Each structure stands twice: as C-alpha cells, then as structure tokens.
Amino acid sequence: MAKIIAGKGSSKYEIHIVGEKFPKSLINQNIGKKSKVLIVTDSGVPKKHINKIKDAITNKTIKVLTLNQGEKSKSFTSFKKITNKLFDLNFDRSDCLIAAGGGVVGDITGFCAATFLRGIKYIQVPTTLLAQVDSSVGGKTAINVEQGKNLIGSFYNPDFVLISSGFLKTLSKEEYESGLGEVLKYAFIGNKELKNIIEKNSEKIVQRNEKILQLIIEESIKTKSKIVTKDERENGIRAILNFGHTFGHAIEAYNDYQNITHGAAITLGMIIAAKISLFEGHIKEYQLDNIINMTESLGLITDHKKYKYSHLKKYIRSDKKVMDGKLNLILIDKNLNAFRTSNFNNKNIIKALA
Ligand SMILES: NC(=O)c1ccc[n+]([C@@H]2O[C@H](COP(=O)([O-])OP(=O)(O)OC[C@H]3O[C@@H](n4cnc5c(N)ncnc54)[C@H](O)[C@@H]3O)[C@@H](O)[C@H]2O)c1
Ligand SMILES: [Zn+2]
C-alpha cells in the first residue's frame, strides 16, 4: 500500500494505492460523517467492482448512476443527468460524489462536482490503468462539445483518490495496453526508477502481477503529481506530460478517434518524438533502441510506418502546442529528461515520418 500527496494548500489530496483488498476505513474516512453518496459509473465497468465499493461504504445512503460506456458520455446530456440526480437527492456540499470508472467517468463526474453548488466533494476511484496513472490525478475535468474534445471544463482537484490494482484484472487487453502507454511515458520523461522497474519486470507487467502493478502505478503517479502540483493550471512544466501527444493526437484524429486507443496512439507518438530527438542530436541511437525495445517488451506496437507526414501534417499544425504560429514539440535529452522546444528543423519531423 502506498500513499502520495498531490495538490497545494486547501486543495491538497491523498492518493492511496492498494491491492485487491481495500481497507474500508480509508473510503469511509474520506466520505465524512453525514453524507449521502452518489456513485457515477458506466455500463462497461463490471458490476462486481461497483458492489465492492458499495460494500466498503458504511452507514450512508448510496445511489448509483450508470452512464453508457464510451467517449460520447462526456457530454452535456450526461452533465444534466448527473446534476438532476443530485438535485433529486437533495445533495448539499457535505455530500459526496464518487467517480468509479475510466477517464470518461472521471472527467464528467469531476466536472459535475466542480460546478454543482459551485463545488462539492468528490472522490476518484479509477478502474482503468489509464485513469489510475493519469486522468484521476491532476484535477482536469471536462466534457466534449461538437467543437472538440475537452473544450469545456475546469481544474478541480478531487478530495481523495483510491486506486485498487485489483480492478485491472477485468480490463480488456487493448485498454490495459492503452494505460501502459502512459506508464511508459513517465519512464521516458525522467522517472528512472520506473524505467528500471519496467526493464526488469516486463513479463510480470504483461501478466498483470499485482505487486508490480502497484509499483508502476505508484511511480507513474509520483511523476504526474509532482508535475501537476508545480503547475496546476498548465502554464509551464505540465507541458512535458504531453510527450508523444502531438503526434499521438494527430494519429487519433487521422483515424477519426476510432480503431486505435489513446495509449496506442501516443505510444507511436513517443517513438516519433524520440526519433526527432535523435535526429536533432539530443539522444543517441542506442537510447532510441532502448525506448523501442522497452515498449515492445510490454507488447506495445512501435511501428508507425502507416502514418506518413502527409497524413498527419494538418493535425500536427492544429495542435494545442502551436503558439504564435510556431509548433512546440516535447523532446527528450540524453538524460531522458523531457523539454519543450520550438527550436527544431521541420525536416526532422518529415524524416521521422518518412
Ligand atoms: N483529466 C485528465 O487529466 C485526463 C487525462 C487523460 C485522459 N483523460 C480522458 O480520459 C478518457 C479516456 O479514459 P479511459 O482510457 O479510461 O477510457 P474509458 O473511460 O472510456 O474506459 C475504457 C473502457 O473500459 C471500461 N472499463 C472501465 N473500467 C473497467 C474495468 N475495471 N474492467 C473492464 N472494463 C472497464 C469502460 O467501461 C470503457 O468501456 C478520455 O475521455 C480522455 O480525454 C483525461
Ligand atoms: Zn495521454
């Protein structure tokens, strides 16, 4: 069991990482005394996980609201559904929302918590690997609109995050590998301990060994929480968490957000960014090989040849990291530290995507 603290001042919160069994006291302490509880989940989260959370909560009125699984649920429609339920239940600021699911459930529930009565308590119980190592920490909440993904939202930290590696057993191979993409990201942007653990335990990671899973989740969150606590509003250092994401997002957009998971796309994006780092002279050939080998040792695909510069160009140019018309990239240096730069030769992007 591990505990990490994230956030600053009054918005500080604890993140606990536990195994299959989770201590009831943890969740009850964090819900508080006189509260009602609404658990928001989606139809893809196995019922047994929700029952486990319900069983751990004592002496409370617990209701469950189940959204349809999938990205479409990060919508105004879900926002209305959840907030109407909160009104029906007479929720006040001492009551508690729980997001039990992947990043979709986490983002929409967090947004409702941030805005209902100008902010109520909420707890994240992430059940996908991606949500455990990424979306449940950092306070970004959002819904999608027709103009684009995540364009309406707020920064609003949860009161508590409870991560159980036991939930990951039922995750599909695709979704598990998607989360592993983000885990690798933390290893490639400077977490050397995590890199070591992955290099020594790739087989156990593929087999979802609980002990190792808890370790890689802990290391991933250490990196994420350190960065987001320094830069809560994404004005600076938080950008390095986007390593691989300029190209990954372009690959997702080119595929119309279908048939490829976010983690699979950003894994390809990281390989492309690592190649550019090599061509720009920041890392050596053996370091690129090491990145590719590590990625493949977890069963993830590194071959990005079907995505050519001509396919991705327009999406790369519309990336959030274009500032004053200049594209910013997150690259890595010889110590495997990530940095943001607009100082690179465009030919090296074309070469990496040749
Ligand atoms: N807020 C942030 O900082 C942040 C960061 C990264 C991603 N995100 C957002 O997160 C979302 C993606 O999250 P995701 O990858 O978790 O996808 P997801 O929430 O859609 O979950 C993937 C699928 O797994 C199912 N599932 C969840 N838990 C399961 C379990 N234990 N066993 C079996 N199936 C389970 C879900 O029902 C869903 O069908 C995107 O909307 C993205 O924008 C947010
Ligand atoms: Zn990501």
Mutational test site, ligand 1, from 52, 108, 134, 135, max ligand atoms within 8 Å of CB: 135
At 319 the pLDDT is 66
Single-letter amino acid code for the residue at 7: G
CA 298 to the chain's CA centroid: 18
Q: Give the ligand at the shortest distance from the Cα of 155.
A: 1
Backbone phi, psi, residue 179, to 5°? -65, -35
What six digits make up the tokens of 116?
A: 């209902």
Residue with tokens 């190792």: 212
Nearest alpha carbon to residue 272 among 349, 191, 190: 349
- Ligand 1 geometric centre to CA of 53 (Å): 18
Count of domains for the chain = 2
Give bridge partners of residue 163 from the DSSP assignment: 17
C-alpha span between 86 and 159 (Å, rounded): 18
At 24 the pLDDT is 87
Residue at a domain's end among 169, 194, 213? 169
- Ligand 2 geometric centre to CA of 117 (Å): 30
Mutational test site, ligand 1, from 15, 98, 104, 257, max ligand atoms within 8 Å of CB: 104
Q: Is the CB of 140 under 6 A from ligand 1?
A: yes
The verdict on 317 and 217 lying in the same domain is yes
At 35 the pLDDT is 81
- Ligand 1 geometric centre to CA of 285 (Å): 34
Residue with tokens 């308590």: 121
Q: Is 317 designated active site?
A: no
The verdict on 123 and 197 lying in the same domain is no
At 10 the pLDDT is 87
Other beta carbons within 10 Å of 146:
6
The verdict on 139 and 165 lying in the same domain is yes
The verdict on 211 and 270 lying in the same domain is yes
Measured over the CA atoms of residue 199, residue 204, residue 208 and residue 212, the dihedral's sign is negative
* Atom 11 of ligand 1, nearest CA residue: 103
Q: Is the CB of 131 under 6 A from ligand 1?
A: yes
Q: Is 224 designated active site?
A: yes
- Ligand 1 geometric centre to CA of 158 (Å): 17
The verdict on 149 and 98 lying in the same domain is yes
C-alpha span between 303 and 257 (Å, rounded): 19
Q: Is 209 designated active site?
A: no
Tell me which residue range forms the domain holding 268. 173-352
- Ligand 1 geometric centre to CA of 37 (Å): 22
- Ligand 1 geometric centre to CA of 130 (Å): 6
The verdict on 108 and 243 lying in the same domain is no
The verdict on 163 and 68 lying in the same domain is yes
Q: Give the ligand at the shortest distance from the Cα of 168.
A: 1
Q: Is the CB of 135 under 6 A from ligand 1?
A: yes
Residue at a domain's end among 169, 197, 220? 169
Give bridge partners of residue 255 from the DSSP assignment: none
Q: Is the CB of 130 under 6 A from ligand 1?
A: yes
Cβ atoms of 81 and 116 closer than 8 Å: no
The verdict on 158 and 211 lying in the same domain is no
The verdict on 70 and 199 lying in the same domain is no
The verdict on 130 and 89 lying in the same domain is yes
Mutational test site, ligand 1, from 22, 175, 257, 267, max ligand atoms within 8 Å of CB: 175
Distances (CA, A) of 222 to 100, 176, 200, 237: 21, 20, 19, 15
Q: Is the CB of 133 under 6 A from ligand 1?
A: no
Q: Is the CB of 110 under 6 A from ligand 1?
A: no
At 1 the pLDDT is 85
Residue at a domain's end among 136, 169, 202? 169
pTM to 2 decimal places = 0.97
Q: Which atom of ligand 1 is nearest to the CA of 149?
A: 43
pLDDT along the chain (354 residues), means of 10: 92 95 89 90 98 94 97 97 98 95 98 97 97 96 93 96 97 98 98 98 98 98 95 90 96 95 98 98 98 98 97 84 80 95 95 96
CATH, residue 52: 3.40.50.1970
